[in-house]
Structure 1
């Protein structure tokens, strides 16, 4: 008899968080347990139990005891569930062996857990029936016995853990912590500088920490500062050079790959950026940011095709831009970046239903921008985007309300100069003469405010 297995997994129906087209929108984890995991563990000789089987979730002392004494803990990481991650971490710190991770093939794990080996199984359906349960069992059955003897990260990386950890490692850790604390203090001071002064600090910062660029926290911290300080094409070229100087493992970090794609796009290398983003999405999953970046690269290709009068190519690239911006919008309705790019693309396409889609995208953008401002999470593009939405919606009342705030808070905070041309373009599409006149007067007020910036 193999003993008993404690199954750590969600229960009930849960949103899969799968990227559109890659997996089911929702998973019935009770059916997954009934049809796949429970019979599989029985086949392997275990007595299977999961947290909710008795009377709801186990209270904390029972859960800790089960995690410690189980002969095997099987953890399903298919969805980002806080309890599952917490219980997995406890088991890793409790026992040297006997924790096996599994996950649906479309899932993407969070943070450092993504680096841990998990057995992948196919789950194209949200309702697991007998046939799919059998397929999942067939996939996992031969692998679980091999992986249950893998050593947990705590025991593998801390020789002597838990009772006799080698203290010779402590000095190196303290040195890393001291270096990181000093770096973070310097970064706080640099972030407090006026935006115009930050760019001058990029080269000294890179030189100062060149010897420590192999430390992920420092390398990514420098990169973030560079991205937030960039002023022109030369700055994006500096960013690309810096990324290409990083070691291979760090260069594959999802944030680093996103910034590489962004830099390539800013330098007019759209096809390379698209290749980078597609590879990133394949490896780490889609996000609203990544889909929005892809939409932007296709929009650049569309503009180039229009300029060269390649009509069919322009239509193709416009369709691809719309496709990716729409995906980004649906992945995160709180991200204003993907939907704010859609109205003009829809207007240029002028297809059936596009006017309705314009209104939907504008309302999503407006809500996302207002939410960011209310929560204090806005970046420099939120306010000008909100102005643009008011003009695109031909909402003179909202535009006037925002103009009053601009005059009160200052045009610089609203980056008014950066959006005046776009507002004028939006004004050209307003049909009602009365509304158009009001918006024209508001636009003139904004021009006047920008002159005083």
Structure 2
């Protein structure tokens, strides 16, 4: 018998072929040759650690789901590369975490950012300055990951760590307690829905009463985040936003460090009038956790507010440039998303450099295409109709703007969302064209403006 068969097996979970990274420009390669990454880096490290390397696409035929599940369960070690957001990789990580107590190690390029849940888990980071995996890159990857993998092989899966006795000896009292907790969570979620169903003028008082009821003792994360988002969506005045800030600042250190909470705190700071503090908070989050469309969009929006409020020409020029820069960086992360790109046409037209009108037109077409694609997919994004409304303003299409305003109103957006939409519409109105079109669009803004 071949002695190699007796070595423990390492099953590699990763994309294969050449894939786009959607990395922020200047922060990572445009594409990665994952086959080269496997051949030139991972195989050598796996063998050096004493394992026999196996990858899914090395089967002679298509690997069916049963084979994949078998290998995820029986492999002595599973390595998972999370550099790009690949659905199969994430799914297989979840299966391994549930199936085996130990022996799953996550890896990712040092410039990459992961989706929320896996971003909280420990991962081995490696340098990846280019995607062809040149010899010097392969050597640097091997040097970075070999000892780190060995040190994490015995790490416990989060599923087994969270549920004592999992999978076959779970304490029934614990199970009953969890069912009680889920029943309480269901009742709590019904109370939150009830608050959101009240007329807007009553919601903040109702929200604060619900917070008072649930914030008397330690809160689980799901309750804390639901209360935070409820307060956010009920806030209107600067005083309301200070209530949101007070709630967030009263959370545990662990919850305050969650990126979503950091983002919402920055939003609250901005609506409380503290734009510079909001920018500093988001920039710190980008530095530690990487850029996302949401974070760069937040930065673009805060600089846009500073631009609108500034009176000195040099300040307006500086804030406009920074707003455009952050929105452009966010747009380049994913051209299928429209949050960042939808803000650019009006800003290009305000800047008025040579070629800016052409840029505005090309980005506008990109925004409309992304929105229509989202509509066709049945997206429930509450910002979709608002984004199309802004695009109608940027296109000078008063008929479409009036129709979309009806749709926006029917969605019952929060006052802070309406104010954000109006801010974008007012910038677009500066380039609306003839007087008749401008008057019709100004009337749309007044329709939407909160009483």
Name the TM tier (shorter chain): 0.7 to 0.9
**Residue number among 4, 11, 15 corresponding to 2:9 in the alignment:** 4
Distance 1:406 1:71, change over 3 A: closer
SS at 2:11's partner residue? Answer: strand
Give 1:264's aligned residue. Answer: 269
Distance in 2 (CA, whole Å) between partners of 1:267 and 1:97 is 47
SS at 1:10's partner residue? Answer: coil
Give 1:344's aligned residue. Answer: 346
Give 1:282's aligned residue. Answer: 287
1:82 aligns with 2:54: no
Distance in 1 (CA, whole Å) between partners of 2:429 and 2:123 is 54
Distance in 2 (CA, whole Å) between partners of 1:450 and 1:91 is 50
**Do the aligned partners of 2:106 and 2:123 also contact (CA within 8 Å) in 1?**
yes
**Residue number among 49, 63, 76 corresponding to 2:54 in the alignment:** 49
**Residue number among 84, 87, 95 corresponding to 2:100 in the alignment:** 95
1:124 aligns with 2:123: no
Give 2:359's aligned residue. Answer: 357
Structure 2-normalised TM-score?
A: 0.87
**Do the aligned partners of 2:307 and 2:319 also contact (CA within 8 Å) in 1?**
yes
Distance 1:46 1:424, change over 3 A: closer
Distance in 1 (CA, whole Å) between partners of 2:424 and 2:75 is 62
Distance in 2 (CA, whole Å) between partners of 1:199 and 1:78 is 41
**Residue number among 331, 346, 359 corresponding to 1:329 in the alignment:** 331
1:111 aligns with 2:116: yes
Distance 1:210 1:78, change over 3 A: same
Distance in 1 (CA, whole Å) between partners of 2:280 and 2:172 is 46
State the 1:368 CA deviation.
4.5
Larger radius of gyration: 1
**Residue number among 19, 32, 35 corresponding to 1:14 in the alignment:** 19
Question: Number of residues paired by the alignment?
Answer: 439
State the 1:342 CA deviation.
2.3
Give 1:403's aligned residue. Answer: 402
1:60 aligns with 2:58: no
Deviates more, 1:134-143 or 1:146-155: 146-155
Distance in 2 (CA, whole Å) between partners of 1:405 and 1:300 is 24
Distance 1:272 1:57, change over 3 A: farther
Structure showing greater relative contact order (alpha-carbon pairs closer than 8 Å, 6 or more residues apart): 2
Structure 1-normalised TM-score?
A: 0.86
The RMSD of aligned alpha carbons is 3.1
**Residue number among 35, 41, 50 corresponding to 2:40 in the alignment:** 35
| Match runs of 1:410-449 below 5 Å | 429=431, 436=434, 438-440=436-438, 442-443=440-441, 446=444
Distance 1:172 1:445, change over 3 A: closer
State the 1:438 CA deviation.
4.7
Distance in 1 (CA, whole Å) between partners of 2:400 and 2:374 is 18
1:152 aligns with 2:157: yes
Distance in 2 (CA, whole Å) between partners of 1:147 and 1:169 is 29
State the 1:414 CA deviation.
9.6
**Do the aligned partners of 2:401 and 2:444 also contact (CA within 8 Å) in 1?**
no
State the 1:420 CA deviation.
8.3
1:182 aligns with 2:181: no
SS at 1:142's partner residue? Answer: helix
String of CA shifts for 1:206-248, please: whole Å, max 9, x gaps: 1111135521110110111111111111111111111001000
1:196 aligns with 2:195: no
Distance in 2 (CA, whole Å) between partners of 1:372 and 1:126 is 30
Structure 2's unaligned 5+ residue stretches are 1-5
Distance in 2 (CA, whole Å) between partners of 1:425 and 1:301 is 13
